[in-house]
């Protein structure tokens, strides 16, 4: 009887003890090594203590299928802790991720660890930054939750070797999580959490491929996107939007087949464990009338084939270069560049030797920039940049057309005595850009008295001056709008006429005629 009672009491005691363990769901020390790690389960919170500066708590989790884990570790007052995640491959745990925000008392979170069938070990230990110390009063709580994997980054994807593969028309979800990557020892991006993606481009018929890349905005995060080639050279970097806003790369041209990489990261270690970003990638075949990035230099300038090209300013510093080879040399052409609302375009023209001819920034945001006409002797380069971007995509269209006129037209650039146009009876000129000054050279065999007649610029105001042989101003007249004035002047063999804008109008011309007296 006694023995029977004892047996029953022992069973009750053991049952009580076991049931207590399950309900408490707390660590069982010692668990300082991988071999005596505690088993944990998904969706079951476990509590534990970092009792001393040397305490390490190991937990292992068996995974039977592909899924995404979210790992949450509560803070310990006064302690900077971290989570080291290992994958146990062939009984050799490999460190795959370190979760450590380098702050005391704060929690640690990792939003999306990609796991496959196998065993993973989670080591709760002290962070690397602060002095290690125990806390026997405040426990930590470790909770691992799970969801199915579907079109998302495969963390850890912190380097090109572990980059998540994506393709055309893919929409991939990812997180700016964790805040830092202690395993990143790259001197340029040290500690930065970077999500790597890779995609493959096959070029056929030497026709470049244009890629569109769209990264959605995430609250509290200022994101940066870079694309690298297979030689790990950055070929484009986009950081045009602010915190909470997305980044876009449009019509970026790729001319060589190969594997390309995308880096998605946040600035200043900003993170968001709750809201994912979406990375969208699309390919398309290059159209000759579209910009082909990278075209940020003379060497990489796109050829304007059909007198028109559409492009986009990707970031405030983006500058797009184009080369125009005129079908008819030594002829006048008209150039215009119009953009979307909010885009303040700067159009610059360079000659064949890459000397800057003029910079046009006459209109404000949303306005188009126009060169009414200019002589193209050989090929010229255009560069398009912007002093302010549009709220959405900063697209523009650059168009060039031949300008026919029976009049004798000014030839830009003629902004100085050295580049003055030789005057012969009559000239029609334009104020081409802000502060444009036009010089005309007058030559006679001897001293000549002349009558100068000028019709001004409609809706504008100009000043016309005559000079001595050296270019010093003798006489000046101001002309309102398109009124006509005339005055006499004497030239001693040589002199200049200078036209300057007082109120600029870039649409209408002025006309100067000289009659010998």
Partner 1 sequence: MHLNFKILCLIICISIFGCKTTEKETNRKIEGENNFFISIYDSDIDNPENDRRCYYMIYVDKIESGRTTTGLESQEKYFDTQLTSNRHLIKVEKWVLNESLGRYVKMNNIDQPKPDFIYINIDKDRIVKVKLKSSKSGTSSYSMTIE
Nearer to partner 1, 234 or 492 (CB): 492
Cis peptide before 447 (omega within 30 of 0): no
Report in angstroms how near the CB of residue 476 gets to partner 1 at its nearest. Answer: 8
Report in angstroms how near the CB of residue 443 gets to partner 1 at its nearest. Answer: 5
Report in angstroms how near the CB of residue 473 gets to partner 1 at its nearest. Answer: 4
Helix then strand count (H, E) for the chain reads 1, 34
Query: Is 265 within 8 Å of 194 (Cβ atoms)?
Result: yes
Query: Is 249 within 8 Å of 213 (Cβ atoms)?
Result: yes
Report in angstroms how near the CB of residue 501 gets to partner 1 at its nearest. Answer: 17
Query: Is 334 within 8 Å of 371 (Cβ atoms)?
Result: yes
Query: Is 291 within 8 Å of 312 (Cβ atoms)?
Result: yes
Q: What count of residues does the chain have?
A: 517
Report in angstroms how near the CB of residue 511 gets to partner 1 at its nearest. Answer: 19
What are the backbone dihedrals phi and psi of residue 372, each rounded to the nearest 5 degrees, phi first?
-55, -40
Nearer to partner 1, 95 or 502 (CB): 502
Q: Where do contacts with partner 1 occur on this chain (CB under 8 A)? A: 422, 424, 443-449, 465, 468-474, 476, 488, 490, 492-493, 516
Nearer to partner 1, 299 or 516 (CB): 516
Distance CA 263, CA 225 (A): 6
Element of type H or E holding 20? helix 2-24
Nearer to partner 1, 334 or 494 (CB): 494
Dihedral over alpha carbons 250, 255, 258, 263 (to 10 degrees):
-30
Distance CA 278, CA 151 (A): 10
In the three-class reduction of DSSP (H, G, I as helix; E, B as strand; rest coil), residue 361 is classed as: coil
Report in angstroms how near the CB of residue 419 gets to partner 1 at its nearest. Answer: 17
Nearer to partner 1, 186 or 478 (CB): 478
Nearer to partner 1, 71 or 427 (CB): 427
Report in angstroms how near the CB of residue 424 gets to partner 1 at its nearest. Answer: 6
Nearer to partner 1, 233 or 516 (CB): 516
Distance CA 439, CA 456 (A): 16
Report in angstroms how near the CB of residue 517 gets to partner 1 at its nearest. Answer: 9
Distance CA 94, CA 125 (A): 16
DSSP code of residue 152: B
Nearer to partner 1, 249 or 514 (CB): 514
Element of type H or E holding 252? strand 247-254
């Amino acid at each position: 009887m006694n023995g029977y009672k004892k047996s029953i009491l022992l069973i009750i005691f053991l049952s009580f003890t076991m049931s207590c363990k399950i309900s408490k769901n707390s660590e069982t020390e010692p668990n300082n090594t991988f071999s005596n790690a505690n088993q944990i389960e998904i969706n079951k919170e476990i509590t534990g203590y970092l009792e001393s500066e040397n305490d390490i708590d190991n937990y292992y989790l068996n995974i039977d299928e592909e899924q995404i884990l979210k790992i949450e570790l509560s803070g310990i007052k006064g302690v900077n802790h971290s989570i080291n995640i290992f994958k146990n491959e062939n009984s050799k745990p490999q460190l795959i991720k370190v979760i450590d925000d380098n702050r005391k008392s704060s929690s640690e979170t990792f939003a999306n660890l990609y796991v496959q069938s196998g065993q993973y070990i989670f080591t709760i230990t002290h962070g690397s930054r602060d002095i290690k110390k125990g806390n026997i009063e405040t426990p930590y709580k470790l909770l691992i939750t799970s969801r199915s994997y579907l079109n998302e980054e495969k963390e850890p994807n912190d380097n090109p070797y572990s980059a998540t593969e994506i393709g055309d028309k893919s929409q991939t979800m990812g997180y700016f999580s964790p805040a830092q990557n202690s395993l990143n020892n790259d001197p340029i991006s040290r500690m930065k959490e970077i999500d790597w993606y890779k995609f493959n481009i096959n070029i056929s018929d030497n026709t470049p491929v244009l890629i569109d890349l769209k990264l959605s905005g995430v609250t509290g995060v200022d994101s940066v996107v870079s694309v690298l080639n297979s030689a790990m050279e950055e070929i484009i970097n986009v950081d045009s939007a602010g915190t909470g806003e997305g980044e876009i790369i449009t019509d970026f041209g790729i001319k060589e087949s190969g594997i390309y990489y995308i880096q998605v990261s946040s600035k200043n270690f900003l993170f968001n464990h709750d809201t994912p970003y979406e990375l969208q990638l699309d390919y398309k075949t290059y159209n000759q009338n579209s910009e082909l990035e990278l075209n940020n230099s003379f060497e990489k300038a796109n050829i304007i084939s059909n007198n028109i090209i559409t492009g986009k300013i990707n970031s405030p510093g983006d500058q797009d270069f184009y080369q125009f080879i005129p079908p008819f040399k030594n002829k006048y052409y008209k150039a215009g560049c119009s953009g979307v609302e909010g885009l303040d375009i700067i159009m610059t023209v360079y000659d064949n030797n890459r000397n800057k001819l003029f910079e046009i920034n006459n209109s404000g945001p949303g306005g188009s920039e126009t060169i009414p006409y200019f002589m193209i002797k050989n090929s010229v380069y255009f560069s398009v940049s912007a002093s302010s971007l549009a709220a959405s995509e900063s697209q523009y269209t650059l168009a060039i057309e031949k300008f026919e006129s029976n009049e004798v037209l000014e030839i830009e650039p003629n902004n100085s005595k050295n580049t003055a146009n030789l005057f012969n009876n009559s000239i029609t000129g334009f104020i081409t850009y802000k502060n444009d000054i036009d010089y005309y050279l007058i030559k006679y065999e001897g001293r000549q008295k002349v009558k100068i007649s000028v019709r001004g610029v409609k809706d504008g105001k100009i000043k016309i001056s005559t000079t001595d042989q050296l270019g010093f101003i003798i006489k000046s007249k101001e002309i309102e709008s398109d009124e006509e004035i005339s005055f006499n002047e004497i030239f001693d063999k040589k002199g200049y006429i200078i036209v300057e804008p007082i109120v600029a109008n870039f649409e209408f011309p002025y006309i100067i005629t000289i009659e010998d007296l």
